[in-house]
Chain A
Amino acid sequence: MQKSVFKKTIEIIIFIIFIFFLFAPLLSLGIWSVALRWYWPHTFPQEIGFDYWFQALGITKSLTLGAVNVVPAFWLSLGIAIVVVIITMAIAIPAGYALAKLRIPTFLKGLILILFLMPRAFPQQPVFLNLMLMFNKIGLTGTVLGVIFVHLVVGLVYAVWITASTFRSIPPELEEAARSVGASRLKAFFKVTLPLSAPGLIASAVFVFLTSMDEFTGTFFVGLPFVTTLPMTLYSASGSNIQFASVIAILLLIPSILFMVLIQKFLKAEHIGGMGG
């Protein structure tokens, strides 16, 4: 009895903390995005309206400082994210498969993993600054292509790790059994390994999509001022117009939340669990 009361209390405390950290900022964002006038010491805005939403979405024109039409930025971010996901998965699936299933000498395996981890192992700014200097020489700064490259560098880390661990979690006998009944290596992969690893691969794609949607530092160095993704507009708005920034932040949250729901559906714990190995 005593124990269950104790347990309940802990659960409630954790729940409150969870609510506080997750929903309080969301609520605050929601209120700010509709606050037309909100001066101290009022607890709630004195005037509420969707004016800033309309302005941000380009429905009404705005002359406010820091106001931008975020719709093109949203489409740009979405487009870049989709391209990044496609290219990343096209690289990560064979790379992850090779790391997980093929007999690669250990030192080579380590080398490949380090190669993919390198960009994340150092502080981000110097890495991207360097990348910017390199891209400057070949004319990639300020182009969508350059930004896609940056996002690939970031996304591949997650993708290769998750796909490798996904493939590793599938017993090799399943593919061998397919080959023993007459399937070629390719057929065994497409008919057995791929369908079984779909949840992990989807999860990996979702992670890549979200990192691309959210990516800031790299885009800041390589993309600005010509490529303004959604996080870039948030940055420029946040300095001068909290309402605008709140609207953009909520827009940024929408795909994240949608995909979190998707992950919940598909991702099994073991796919993340095997990541270290």
Chain B
Amino acid sequence: MAILKVNNLNKNFGKVKAVQEVSFEATEGKVLSLLGPSGCGKTTTLRCIAGFENPDQGEIYLDDKKITYIPPEQRGIGMVFQNYALWPHMTVYGNLAFGLQIRKVPKPEISKRIKRVLSIVQLEGFEDRFPRQMSGGQQQRIAMARALVFEPGIMLLDEPLSNLDAQLREEMRFEFIELQKKLGITAVYVTHDQAEALVISHKILILDQGKKIQLGTPKEIYANPKNKFVAGFIAVTSFIDGSVDSFTEEKKKVMVKTNDGLIIQGFNSNLSVGQKVSVAMRMNVIKFIQDENKMQKNKVNIFKGKIIQSSYLGNIIDYKIKVGNWEVRTNSDAKYDFKVGEEVTFYLSPHDIIITSEK
């Protein structure tokens, strides 16, 4: 059941097309992430849902009620801001009570609800603190509590963790998952951090230059990025560009040929012969072969290259290898100790690499 439906959303700022024909649905009780680089339109999309921007075209439905142009205060949507946006002149109690006072909730009920929400975000007894008396992580939780306390139908989060330091950010990811599960609230979560999106989302919508690129579960997007852009955004570090040469075994396997004569085999049945594609590799897919005789029966996807850079990272070594005209990167076990300039032979398993459309 869709609780939030965004239909053909368009928003321009002057000549800049911030959002173009974006449509998606957020399912009840699930987290949908809007993921993309800065300027991809994710925040604008979120602000349209919140009501801070009026879309130029398109509709937004919340529980089948059209909310496209109604003012933000009438939408009943909770919002968590990147900089928390806690009101500095009010205590935690004042911050949390504000929305309830507007709704004319009786005073004892307000205190009760604030107590409950503070226990949910694990900040019991913080009622009398001012925002400036709290750490970034605590402020973040209060911001979350403020968006939850009036029991909104849906919660919007605009890069809520990006102001925290790396370690705290990772902890807060899991806290957010717990909280979301416990309350079963529907959430739309904007982030530019792919790791964060993979961890917290049920579904991810990838945006680029205001356009929807791919919508899918974290697994789908990680395993089958729709194109080079998505792959590059989801932890792919090396690309070899080429075009589809042929298919084998009833379109199961695809042969990619590059302009410098490399032939790479992989899997992707949605391509057509001649299509421009990219072979995408993550940091761990390259397998070095030290004894070439061992690999005799499997001669595909074996390449020779030259180490052009090596960075020692303790348990692993980060190599940059030149293959034909391409440079690929890999993390290898520290037991392979190659020197810069050394010739290496490596194997790319067709199952590990991703063949994806270039555009």
Contacts and interface: CB of A to CB of B under 8 A. Distances in A.
Interface in A167-219: 171, 173-174, 176-185, 187, 191-192, 195-196
Contact of B89 (A180, A182, A195): A195
B110 to A, nearest CB: 13
A171 B99 contact: no
Contacts of B103: 182
Given A173-B81, A192-B87, A181 B71 contact: no
Nearest to B76: A182
B72 interface: yes
B146 A181 contact: yes
A181 B98 contact: yes
A173 B85 contact: yes
Nearest to A173: B85
Q: How many residues of A sit at the interface, in one of the four size bands?
A: 10 to 19
B50 A180 contact: yes
Contacts of A192: 87
Contacts of B98: 178, 181, 183, 191
B77 interface: yes
A183 B81 contact: no
Contacts of A171: 83, 85
Contacts of A178: 87, 98
Given A180-B72, A180-B77, A187 B83 contact: no
Nearest to A184: B73
B102 interface: yes
B55 interface: no
A181 B81 contact: no
A262 B98 CA distance: 31
Contact of B150 (A174, A177, A182): A182
B150 A173 contact: no
B83 A173 contact: yes
Given A171-B83, A181-B102, A187-B102, A176 B72 contact: yes
B87 A174 contact: yes
B88 interface: yes
B78 A196 contact: no
Interface in A77-126: none
Nearest to B94: A191
A182 B52 contact: no
Contacts of B221: none
Given A176-B52, A176-B79, A176-B81, A181 B99 contact: yes
A177 B87 contact: yes
Contacts of B79: 176-177, 180
A179 B79 CA distance: 10
A185 B77 CA distance: 16
Contact of B88 (A176, A181, A196): A196
Nearest to A192: B87
Contacts of A191: 98
23 contacts: A173-B82, A173-B83, A174-B85, A176-B81, A177-B79, A177-B81, A177-B146, A178-B87, A179-B52, A179-B72, A180-B72, A180-B73, A180-B78, A181-B98, A181-B99, A181-B102, A182-B73, A182-B76, A183-B99, A185-B71, A187-B102, A196-B87, A196-B89
Please name the 9 residue pairs, one residue from A and one from B, whose CB atoms are nearest each other, closest first.
A181-B99, A173-B85, A180-B79, A177-B85, A182-B102, A179-B72, A173-B81, A179-B73, A182-B73
Given A177-B85, A180-B147, 12 more contacts: A171-B83, A171-B85, A173-B85, A176-B79, A178-B98, A179-B71, A180-B50, A181-B146, A182-B102, A184-B73, A195-B89, A196-B87
